[in-house]
């Protein structure tokens, strides 16, 4: 039993005790907000990668043989699907993102991912594949050689794999075929969307824009959206207005946050995170059960049978409790450092932080990813 006793003698730190440097920072509007309507659009396609060196899908992958048979039929070749071998062919999904203001002819980087049981896409060539948007319309096409940042080799029980050879990329392999850009010329009002919802930051952005143009033309609609009356600015065009707005500097009020990843044991926290008065007792109970299989052999010339007999053993460990003390106004960083000095693992620290948050003594948002 690995038990860790932690006694914290802390007092609640009021928000006023934090310095302005800890809670407020300067940033450009372009770094904390985006223009509403100006965004990426995902596209998806289904295609085939050919030219593989025996690392493609096997014949049991039915949709690959059907796709190849349909493709050959469109080329004027009649080939029954049951007689096609697809070792050098792999069915793949092709994904890409249409950037803002993408026009026909714009090049895209596409990602190719195996759908069937192919071993590797190394050395393959993606055949012409249509890329569809969420509305079912074709917005682009992709074709070209696939680059894979790994490989898989071996056979007969001996193999070696580096990275992930069933996913590759084609730099510039996609081509935009349909215009999906946002027309700024028709917009009389434009809005900014903050990356993180915060009423104080939204008011700061609106105030900075009004001060820059010397009139009331921007207002915060909510904690994330700031609306700008483009007609009242007197700017010759909207791109010139947005370029001027994006370079304004504002004060950003960030929220105290602790992010933990239980799968990897990673903890990320801000320096302005503080703890309230709390006492913690954390312990892990460890039990190890091992099963050993022994063979019971009958005596010679007897009618007994050889049998496998399992023998289970149980072990438990217990260590004395250990204690640490923190001074008044301790931060989460000091708590983590103190726990690490007494041998607490990252997963122990994550469990303690979750318990502190549930008790209402963690003055920050706890996000588990």
Does one domain contain both 7 and 80? no
Give the chain's end-to-end CA distance (angstroms, integer): 28
Number of domains comprising the chain: 3
With bands split at pLDDT 50, 70 and 90, how would you rate the model's confidence at 95?
A: very high
pLDDT in tens, 311-337: 766 666 666 656 666 665 667 677 777
Residue 5: pLDDT over 50: no
What's the confidence (pLDDT) of residue 18?
40
- Asked if residue 224 is part of any domain, the answer here is yes
Does one domain contain both 214 and 285? no
Does one domain contain both 137 and 231? no
What's the confidence (pLDDT) of residue 255?
78
What's the confidence (pLDDT) of residue 202?
92
Does one domain contain both 83 and 170? yes
Residue 15: pLDDT over 60: no
Burial class (CB in 10 A: 0-12, 13-18, 19+), 212: middle
What are the backbone angles phi and psi of residue 184, rounded to the nearest 5°?
Answer: -75, -20
Residue 248: pLDDT over 80: yes
Contact status, residue 18 vs residue 254, Cβ threshold 8 Å: no
> What's the mean per-residue pLDDT of the chain?
79
Separation between Cα atoms, residue 224 and residue 113, nearest integer Å: 36
pLDDT in tens, 160-196: 767 788 999 999 999 999 988 777 776 677 899 998 8
Q: Which of 218, 253, 288 is the last residue of a domain?
A: 253
- Asked if residue 196 is part of any domain, the answer here is yes
Does one domain contain both 218 and 172? no
Does one domain contain both 66 and 188? no
Residue 13: pLDDT over 70: no
- Asked if residue 258 is part of any domain, the answer here is no
What's the confidence (pLDDT) of residue 10?
36
What are the backbone angles phi and psi of residue 223, rounded to the nearest 5°?
Answer: -75, -5
Q: Which residue bears the tokens 């969420």?
A: 134
Helix (H, G, I), strand (E, B) or coil at 225: strand
102's tokens? 């993408």
Verdict on whether the full-model pTM lies above 0.85:
no
pLDDT in tens, 191-238: 999 988 889 999 999 999 999 888 888 999 999 999 998 877 666 778
Q: For residue 334, what are the domain limits?
A: 2-18+274-368
Does one domain contain both 29 and 6? no
- Asked if residue 261 is part of any domain, the answer here is no
Does one domain contain both 205 and 321? no
- Asked if residue 195 is part of any domain, the answer here is yes
Stretch 22-42: mean pLDDT? 84
What's the confidence (pLDDT) of residue 48?
94
Does one domain contain both 325 and 222? no
Separation between Cα atoms, residue 345 and residue 327, nearest integer Å: 22
Stretch 15-33: mean pLDDT? 66
Stretch 305-309: mean pLDDT? 75
């Amino acid at each position: 039993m690995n038990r860790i006793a932690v006694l914290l003698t802390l007092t609640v730190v009021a928000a006023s005790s934090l310095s302005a440097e800890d809670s407020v920072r300067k940033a450009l509007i372009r770094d904390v907000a985006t223009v509403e309507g100006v965004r990426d659009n995902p596209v998806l396609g289904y295609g085939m990668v050919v030219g593989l060196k025996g690392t493609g899908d096997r014949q049991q992958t039915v949709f690959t043989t059907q796709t190849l048979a349909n493709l050959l039929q469109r080329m004027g070749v009649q080939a029954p699907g049951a007689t096609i071998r697809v070792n050098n062919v792999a069915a793949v999904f092709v994904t890409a993102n249409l950037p803002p203001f993408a026009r026909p002819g714009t090049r895209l980087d596409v990602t190719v991912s195996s759908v069937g049981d192919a071993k590797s896409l190394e050395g393959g060539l993606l055949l012409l594949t249509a890329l569809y948007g969420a509305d079912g319309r074709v917005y682009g096409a992709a074709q070209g050689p696939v680059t894979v940042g790994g490989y898989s080799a071996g056979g007969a029980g001996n193999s070696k794999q580096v990275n992930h050879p069933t996913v590759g990329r084609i730099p510039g392999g996609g081509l935009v075929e349909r215009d999906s850009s946002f027309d700024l010329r028709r917009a009389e009002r434009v809005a900014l969307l903050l990356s993180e919802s915060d009423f104080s930051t939204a008011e700061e952005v609106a105030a900075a824009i009004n001060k820059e143009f010397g009139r009331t033309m921007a207002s915060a609609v909510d904690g994330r959206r700031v609306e700008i009356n483009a007609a009242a600015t007197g700017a010759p065009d909207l791109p010139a207005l947005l370029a001027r707005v994006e370079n304004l500097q504002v004060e950003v009020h960030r929220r105290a946050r602790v992010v933990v990843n239980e799968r990897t044991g990673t903890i990320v926290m801000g320096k302005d995170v503080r703890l309230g008065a709390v006492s913690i007792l954390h312990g892990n109970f460890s039990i190890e059960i091992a099963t050993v299989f022994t063979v019971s052999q009958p005596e010679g010339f007897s009618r007994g049978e050889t049998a496998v007999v399992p023998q289970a053993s149980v072990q438990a460990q217990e260590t004395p409790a250990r204690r640490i003390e923190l001074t008044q106004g301790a931060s989460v960083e000091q708590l983590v450092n103190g726990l690490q000095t007494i041998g607490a693992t990252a997963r122990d620290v994550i469990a303690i932080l979750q318990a502190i948050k549930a008790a209402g003594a963690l003055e920050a948002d706890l996000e588990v990813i």
